[in-house]
Amino acid sequence: MKMFVEPERIYLHRDAVDFRKSIDGLVAIVEGELERDAYTGALFLFCNKAKDKLK
């Protein structure tokens, strides 16, 4: 198992995201709001409403 990743790019979605969303919901945000391809190997980070946690 690979423990550390070295993504080409890192994207931060700054708006709050409901952390109950599944992977499909997060992919929809990446492709709809960020207008990026979710399957490029980039790392996408999401924050909660309090902005004290990342997913």
What single string gives the DSSP state of each residue in 17-36? --TT--HHHHHHHHHHTS--
Number of neighbours of residue 42 by Cβ within 10 angstroms: 15
- pLDDT, tens digit (0-9, with 9 covering 90-100), for 8-49: 899 999 999 999 999 999 999 999 999 999 999 899 999 999
Confidence tier at 6 by pLDDT (50, 70, 90): confident
Residue 19, C-beta contacts closer than 8 angstroms, at least 6 positions apart: 46, 48, 53, 55
Query: Quick one: which of 1, 6, 3, 9 has its CA closest to 44?
Result: 9
